């Protein structure tokens, strides 16, 4: 039975193997250059007046296209596995009635399903693991910089394409496709439903589940140019407003929420009750000096930014927890497959 399953699966496995070889060759060819650019630039930028801010921004811009491309490849792989490996696995047999022929050769339903789920499911997880490993190695230097450019390590985009969670995604997507195919019994509708359900769960996980897996960290941050995008004074003597950036002490953190508060901890909406006609926030001198003086006054009055976030130090805690959730769902779906095939006539 294992040999027959491999015969049916070998075309898809060969195609996936070819894709992996091409991807690995491309990453191996360009990866050392990316790492060298990063290490050389970091060593040189320490003497610059702005530290390494200019270099980090330029480095990410230079490699942003490749970073987004390989990240997208990892994000799409589980869905592709669910569509083209999972959904047709049983429906192909049902539509051609070849499963009846196999069962008449003294092969039990349980053995038939075990061979199909085991071989193809294991190949799904290995494929996702190899792709993720290669991409994580290649993008390592860029990941260190991406947190500064709105792609933090704990953020939904990078987190979903690194570590071990893609293995859990691939296992779940594959098994989901098998279950849907067994219930729907038609390949194209099964593929459509599999994609819709998988995407819905992938959207719901970072929005509804992942933020609550562990208790978030709360921090109160001083107001400075690092977490303020704009200091606006419409006219001399007019209102002073701040356009806040979500910033946490940990640059790779996943920020859940942020707000501007006063000395009593109340949320500040709109303008600050400060005079722009005279005093520290009155226009005068260079813009940089004026902003620095105004920030000092704002902090003296007790205004702060309150940030709720998950630290990048908990990256692997979240990785293991979420992978466990997906593998648990996979096990439940696989168990449902065995129950259905034993109890129902297909």
**Blockwise average pLDDT, block size 10, the chain, 346 residues:** 58 81 92 90 75 81 92 95 89 68 65 83 93 94 80 90 95 95 89 95 94 92 73 59 73 85 84 72 69 82 88 94 97 91 69
Task: Give CA torsion, residues 340, 200, 66, 165, to 10 deg.
Answer: -50
Phi, psi angles (nearest 5°) of residue 193: -65, -40
**Do 105 and 242 sit in the same domain of this protein?**
no
**Do 290 and 270 sit in the same domain of this protein?**
yes
Domain count, the chain: 2
Domain limits for position 234: 217-312
**Do 88 and 169 sit in the same domain of this protein?**
yes
Number of separate helices (H) and strands (E) present in the chain: 11, 5
Phi, psi angles (nearest 5°) of residue 42: -65, -40
Please tell me whether residue 271 adopts helix, strand or coil conformation: coil
**Do 201 and 226 sit in the same domain of this protein?**
no
- Both structure tokens of 297: 């006054």
**Do 277 and 328 sit in the same domain of this protein?**
no
DSSP for residue 83: I
Please tell me whether residue 304 adopts helix, strand or coil conformation: strand
**Do 145 and 40 sit in the same domain of this protein?**
yes
User: What does the pLDDT read at residue 215?
Assistant: 93
User: What does the pLDDT read at residue 217?
Assistant: 92
∠ CA(156), CA(162), CA(163), 5° rounding?
Answer: 120
Q: Over the range 217-249, which residues count as b (16 or more CB within 10 Å of their CB) and which as e?
A: bebeeebeeebbeebebeeeeeebbbebebbbe
**Do 287 and 140 sit in the same domain of this protein?**
no
**Do 320 and 293 sit in the same domain of this protein?**
no
User: What does the pLDDT read at residue 51?
Assistant: 65
User: What does the pLDDT read at residue 10?
Assistant: 67
Comparing C-alpha atoms, which of 60, 80, 83 is closest to residue 131?
Answer: 80
What pTM, to 2 d.p., does this model score? 0.87
User: What does the pLDDT read at residue 91?
Assistant: 85
**Do 148 and 6 sit in the same domain of this protein?**
yes
User: What does the pLDDT read at residue 49?
Assistant: 64
CB-based contact 230:243 (threshold 8 Å): yes
CB-based contact 171:326 (threshold 8 Å): yes
User: What does the pLDDT read at residue 345?
Assistant: 59
d(CA 253, CA 159): 11
User: What does the pLDDT read at residue 29?
Assistant: 94
**Do 188 and 211 sit in the same domain of this protein?**
yes
Helices 87-96 and 187-204, axial angle in degrees (round to 10): 160
**Do 101 and 182 sit in the same domain of this protein?**
yes
User: What does the pLDDT read at residue 174?
Assistant: 95
**Do 39 and 136 sit in the same domain of this protein?**
yes
């Amino acid at each position: 039975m294992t040999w027959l399953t491999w015969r049916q699966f070998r075309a898809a496995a060969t195609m996936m193997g070819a894709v992996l070889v091409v991807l690995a060759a491309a990453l191996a060819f360009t990866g050392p250059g990316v790492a060298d650019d990063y290490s050389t630039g970091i060593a040189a930028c320490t003497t610059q007046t702005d530290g390494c801010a200019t270099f980090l921004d330029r480095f990410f811009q230079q490699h942003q296209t490749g970073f987004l491309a390989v990240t997208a490849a990892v994000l799409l792989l589980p869905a592709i596995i669910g569509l083209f490996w999972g959904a047709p696995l049983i429906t192909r047999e049902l539509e051609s009635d070849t499963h009846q022929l196999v069962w008449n050769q003294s092969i039990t339903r349980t053995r038939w399903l075990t061979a199909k789920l085991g071989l193809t499911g294991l190949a799904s997880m290995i494929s996702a693991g190899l792709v993720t490993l290669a991409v994580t190695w290649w993008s390592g230097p860029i990941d260190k910089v991406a947190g500064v450019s709105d792609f933090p390590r704990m953020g939904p985009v990078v987190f979903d394409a690194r570590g071990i969670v893609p293995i859990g995604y691939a296992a779940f997507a594959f098994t989901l496709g098998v279950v849907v195919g067994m219930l729907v019994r038609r390949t194209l509708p099964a593929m459509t439903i599999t994609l819709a359900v998988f995407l819905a769960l992938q959207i719901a996980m970072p929005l509804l589940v992942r933020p609550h897996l562990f208790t978030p960290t709360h921090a109160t941050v001083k107001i400075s140019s690092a977490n303020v995008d704009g200091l606006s004074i419409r006219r001399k003597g007019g209102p002073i407003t701040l356009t806040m950036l979500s910033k946490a002490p940990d640059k790779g953190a996943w920020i859940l929420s942020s707000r501007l508060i006063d000395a009593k901890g109340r949320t500040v909406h709109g303008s600050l009750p400060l005079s722009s006609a005279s005093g520290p926030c009155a226009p005068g001198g260079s813009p940089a000096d004026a902003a620095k003086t105004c920030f000092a006054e704002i902090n003296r009055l007790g205004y702060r930014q309150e940030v709720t976030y998950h630290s990048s130090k908990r990256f692997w805690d979240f990785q293991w927890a979420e992978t466990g959730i997906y593998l648990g769902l996979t096990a439940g779906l696989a168990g449902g497959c065995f129950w259905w095939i034993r109890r129902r006539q297909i």
